[in-house]
Amino acid sequence: MLSDEQTSPEQIAALRAMTGSRRWHLAEQLYWSARKIKAAGLRNQHPDWSEARLNDAVRQIFSNART
C-alpha cells in the first residue's frame, strides 16, 4: 500500500460502525465493479471477441484469482 493510501482513523471508524450486512453489500459491489473493469479492459484488447468469449474469459480470470 502506498503511503497516501493508508486507511485513516475516520475510515476505520466508519467501517467498524457498519453492520455486517452493509459491509457484505459493499464488498459485493466492489467485486462486480472489478469484473466490469476487467471486462472493459479485455474488450479494449480484443475487440473481435464475442460477448460470450469475453464473459468466459472474465469468469476464468476471477475463478483463478488469489488474494
Grid cell listed for 25 = 453489500
Is residue 65 a part of any domain in this protein?
yes
Average pLDDT taken over every residue of the chain: 93
| Angstrom distance (rounded) from CA 48 to CA 22 | 39
Grid cell listed for 45 = 484488447
Is residue 53 a part of any domain in this protein?
yes
Is residue 5 a part of any domain in this protein?
no
Helices (H) and strands (E) in the chain, counts: 3, 0
Whole-number pLDDT of residue 67: 62
Single pTM value for the model: 0.76
Is residue 13 a part of any domain in this protein?
no
pLDDT in tens, 40-52: 999 999 999 999 9
Is residue 67 a part of any domain in this protein?
yes
- Structural domain harbouring 59: 29-67
Nearest to 62 by CA among 47, 42, 45: 42
The count of structural domains within the chain is 1
